[in-house]
Amino acid sequence: MKYPRLGVNIDHVATLRQQRGEFYPEVSRAADICLASGADQITIHLREDRRHIQDRDVPDTHNECRKFKRPLNFEMGCSDEMVQIACNQKPEWVCLVPEKRAERTTEGGLDVVDPNNYLRVKNACETIKKKSPNTKISLFVEANPEVLKRCLTLNADAVEIHTGEYAKDFLNKKDLSSHLKMYREGRTIIKAQGWGYHAGHGLTLESLETLLSERQFEEYNIGHWIIGEALFFGLSDVVKKMLTLMNKYPLEA
């Protein structure tokens, strides 16, 4: 039986650390706890402004992933600097995301329709594939048919659908049918080429269950809610609770 994978994003452990500029709480320790508790991978986002994850966290976290024989999912913008770091570190996965200095968090998916943005993403993919051929690439995008079809012309392996608007509508008890319809249609487009179909952003235990019941996505990357709940219940217990829920919804063959 195949079940959806859980990637735990531990960026906000670093957010807490950077508020005081201390060495604690240690990001690598959070990775260790999540992986020991059954998480399938660790996700970190090294932003250009270094607001949370720092350069040293990348090899430290990757070492923890290697210890557990689990992937590191390295979120990054398409800048030359980040591409070079990815090529040097050679993570198992890279997730290319849009990045704006003024945003609190990633606000939407990559624009691969605009020719200039498309070229930047294309160049980033080709450089990473050339210099780190074992690294797989996912593209963080909206579930828009035009966008998804453009993604399939790039040298990548998966898309990660931005679920932020869905998550907001879930919390506000709005109708979710349009989101779910888009996700179903998106899966048809993406799986026709054999790519991975992942999801993430803004999800909680409750909003995750609705998506799990649809059995569309094979991987979820979740961070902010997990780290927030960990303040009250502990990181290991929250990860295990989420995995218990996910294991109630095996993927269809």
Instruction: Decide if 22 is catalytic.
Output: no
Q: Average pLDDT of 110-131?
A: 97
Per the prediction, the chain carries an average pLDDT of 96
4-56 pLDDT, tens per residue? 999 999 999 999 999 999 999 999 999 999 999 999 999 999 999 999 999 99
CATH (residue range 6-245): 3.20.20.70
Q: Is it the case that residue 95 has pLDDT exceeding 80?
A: yes
pLDDT at 126 over 80: yes
pLDDT(136) > 70: yes
Active site residue 45: yes
Q: State the burial class of residue 172 (Cβ atoms within 10 Å of its Cβ: 0-12, 13-18, 19+).
A: exposed
The per-residue pLDDT for 122 is 98
Catalytic member of 64, 75, 99, 160: 75
Phi-psi region of 194 (alpha: psi -120 to 50; beta: other; left: phi over 0): left
- pLDDT of 104 reads 57
Q: What is the pLDDT of residues 204-243, one digit of tens each?
A: 999 999 999 999 999 999 999 999 999 999 999 999 999 9
- Active-site residue, from 12, 45, 52, 179: 45
Catalytic pick among 142, 201, 219, 229: 201
| DSSP letter (8 states) at residue 7 | E
Predicted local distance difference test score (pLDDT) of residue 106 = 57
Sequence spans of domains, the chain: 6-245
